[in-house]
Amino acid sequence: MRARYPDQAGYVERDGVRLAYEVFGAGDQTILLLPTWSIVHARHWKAQVPYVARHFRVVTFDGRGNGRSDRPKGPKAYTEREFAADALAIMDATGSDRAALVSLSRGALWALLLAAEHPERVTVAAFIGPSVPLAPPNPERAKYPFGDPLDTDEGWAKFNKHYWRKDYRGFLEFFFSQAFGESHSTKQIEDCVGWGLDTTPETLIDTAEAIALSPEDVRDLAARVRCPVLVIHGDEDAIVPHARGAALAERTGGTLVTMQGSGHLPHARDPIRVNLLLRDFLEPDPRPPAGWTRGKSRNKRALFISSPIGLGHAQRDMAIADELRKLHPHLEIDWLAQHPVTEVLRRRGERVHPASTQLASEAAHIDSESAEHDLHCFQAWRRMDEILVANFMVFHDLVREADEPYDLWIGDEAWEIDYYLHENPELKTAAYAWLTDFVGWLPMPDGGKREAYLTADYNAEMIEHIARFPRVRDRAIFVGNPDDIVPDRFGPGLPHVRQWTEAHYDFSGYVTGFDSAAFANREAVRAELGYRPDERVCIVTVGGSGVGGHLLRRVIASFPEAKRRVPELRMVVIAGPRIDPQSLPNAEGLEVRGYVHELYRHLAVCDVAVVQGGLTTTMELTANKRPFLYFPLQHHFEQNFHVRHRLDRYRAGRCMDYRQAPPEVIGAAIVQELGRTVAYRDVENGAARAAARIAELL
């Protein structure tokens, strides 16, 4: 799923070649994100489009040779002037009289042509890793001829048309491993290899043989540029030497920003910094704040970022917020959250920040990644990278542009905030508390060596972040106890998860968000909720996402047999906020409801429950000592490892395998659980303990 979809899309045909374009946002200033070498298409700008389009009108197009644009044959179809003419055609078709140009690598050549030869169409020009022949090339790249057969395919010998025809994927994997010299760049490399496979080696050979501009031509073009210029170049660029970017900045009179430690594609690997550089360049004079309040006159303010995946986080976060207010009665709390969490917050009278509407939906992405009771959580999270970038930029704009600064940021599994603050620690301007109920990505057994490598790599990056920048997290709180942590290592050669977590986290105990004593008079609560004393109530719920539709249907199919065996059985199926209740079957004695506010109260007094394997719902049932069946989603490492380990420790619930549980098996299990006496461990409510540790930061 994309973080932002275009407001307009179409095609332009120029000299028989169809070019696909997209337009995002609105505004007086248009930003044209130019195509680069046809090895990739316009999706390489995915980390820039959502952010830039919130401030400007943005136009992108797939360069000829890749994506949804045509792939004409022959080198003459791919000269620099063809790409520049394509850009003008796109500008005309989208009603863009003038535009700010942003280019990458080889796209610098068509940007130079536009800025020098069509100055009336160009307002400013930003160049990222510009591939311009204004300084010597990388010596390793210059060793091997492109067109001759070689007796080796080691290293840069792969940049050879005969090798491309023999092992095109092998070339892409090598090339992008060089483009991303930064450690922990597996996702960016995978993206680019995938985009490279959208074209063919023959097309790419044509593009490589198409260069027509000489170094003298490029020097002349650079000297003719009169608009403001920004050059961004990594000093560890193994594709285009940093000296070329420096030379372009000098010849155009532009500003050079050297990104130390960055490679050839910093807009993908270091998107936050590149986005901010572009914003400040494109909009150099932001409006001054509306006012200012002296420090001693300010109320204490906190921004609470609540995870949008599931509704249980909102319940515990509000409990922690309530305890914080007891310790700091005048504390103002704003919430940055997404639907359906915002629905829960608003019903409680909490103040949801308006910027919440700008967040890209993580829940919708998770829904789009699911199959029949199957969600590969780790891979879905990896593929959510552009959404995480977009949402961090919303957070950053919020705190950067607030009239009054926040004293404290609290992130409950706000992964984008935590990750990008560690990648950009200079952006931390307030005390920061981090909450999570699991630590460590774990591979699924059928993921093989590749997934084991990837999860270990992600864990290693996190461990390096904490070691290098311990000051980013002023407080890290594990929502649970040390025994709740899985007995695994982060990966080969990495620490044990529990040992490392105990060294870097405080432990609050679990946070249910309610007091179990409130349900001591169970019959009174049942009566209040509309349940009769002579009924055996089964609650079926799958949380706040849309992933659980298949489980709901299968449990519904089990109801007739369970009802036959237990005539007093009443089954209440909670579809939640993202599943249409009308899409589910119904039957006599069965109720299907949509979103139910304070669902935990219904779970507290049911006779049995059937749920997914999410932690918050299962722990609510554990705290109130209710029998329940839980079905971890296939390939969901958190539910299968972290949650199951914790529930086993509490001796809670009955784990079911969806693949081995047809309706008749589920019906029999419901009947069995109805008569079972449970002996779970007690669950403490750690809200006050968590709040006390966070309150120390205010």
Mean of the pLDDT values across residues 508-534?
93
SS3 annotation, 520-561: CCHHHHHHHHCCCCCCEEEEEECCCCCCCHHHHHHHHHHHHH
SS3 416: helix
Query: What are the pLDDT digits (tens) for 8-48?
Result: 999 999 999 999 999 999 999 999 999 999 999 999 999 99
Residue with token string 């968000």: 513
pLDDT band at 254; cut points 50, 70, 90: very high
Identical fold, 8-137+214-282 and 516-674: yes
SS3 84: helix
With 80 as the cut, is the pLDDT of residue 465 above it?
Answer: yes
CB 179, CB 234: distance < 8 Å: no
Q: What is the pLDDT of residue 313?
A: 84
Give the integer Cα–Cα distance in Å for 101 and 281.
11
CATH fold, domain 295-512+689-695, is Rossmann fold (3.40.50)
With 80 as the cut, is the pLDDT of residue 312 above it?
Answer: no
Q: Which CATH code of 3.40.50.2000, 3.80.30.20, 3.40.50.970, 3.90.180.10 fits the domain covering 516-674?
A: 3.40.50.2000
Give the integer Cα–Cα distance in Å for 427 and 399.
10
CATH fold, domain 8-137+214-282, is Rossmann fold (3.40.50)
Where along the chain do its domains lie?
8-137+214-282, 139-208, 295-512+689-695, 516-674
Q: What is the pLDDT of residue 283?
A: 87
Q: Are strands 8-14 and 17-24 parallel, antiparallel or unpaired?
A: antiparallel
With 80 as the cut, is the pLDDT of residue 405 above it?
Answer: yes
Give the integer Cα–Cα distance in Å for 538 and 527.
15
Give the integer Cα–Cα distance in Å for 204 and 686.
59
Query: What are the pLDDT digits (tens) for 647-680?
Result: 999 999 999 999 999 999 999 999 999 978 999 9
Handedness of CA 345, 346, 351, 357 (dihedral sign): positive
Give the integer Cα–Cα distance in Å for 530 and 546.
26
Q: What is the pLDDT of residue 647?
A: 98
Query: What are the pLDDT digits (tens) for 549-592?
Result: 899 999 999 999 999 999 999 999 998 877 888 888 887 889 99
Percent of the chain with pLDDT over 70: 99
Q: What is the pLDDT of residue 296?
A: 80
Query: What are the pLDDT digits (tens) for 328-366?
Result: 999 999 999 998 889 889 999 999 999 999 999 998 898
First to last CA, the chain: 38
With 70 as the cut, is the pLDDT of residue 285 above it?
Answer: no
State the number of CA atoms in the 13 A half-sphere of 222 facing the CB.
29
With 70 as the cut, is the pLDDT of residue 286 above it?
Answer: no
Mean of the pLDDT values across residues 284-298?
74
Give the integer Cα–Cα distance in Å for 23 and 119.
22
Query: What are the pLDDT digits (tens) for 98-110?
Result: 999 999 999 999 9
- Output the pTM of the full model: 0.96
Task: Report residue 256 as tokens.
Answer: 């050079």
Please give the mean pLDDT across all residues of the chain: 95
CB under 8 Å to 70, separation ≥6 — which residues? 17, 18, 19, 64
Query: What are the pLDDT digits (tens) for 44-83?
Result: 999 999 999 999 999 999 999 999 999 999 999 999 999 9
Mean of the pLDDT values across residues 266-290?
89
**H or E element that contains 629:** strand 628-631
Q: What is the pLDDT of residue 133?
A: 96
Query: What are the pLDDT digits (tens) for 184-235?
Result: 999 999 999 999 999 999 999 999 999 789 999 999 999 999 999 999 999 9
Query: What are the pLDDT digits (tens) for 598-611?
Result: 899 999 999 999 99
Query: What are the pLDDT digits (tens) for 104-143?
Result: 999 999 999 999 999 999 999 999 999 999 999 999 898 9
Residue with token string 């935990």: 600
Q: What is the pLDDT of residue 218?
A: 97
SS3 329: coil
Give the integer Cα–Cα distance in Å for 450 and 135.
39
| DSSP letter string, 452-491 | HHHHHHHHHHHHHHHHH-TTS-SEEEESS-GGGS-S-BSS
CA 322 to chain centre: 29
DSSP bridge pairs for 59: 23, 32
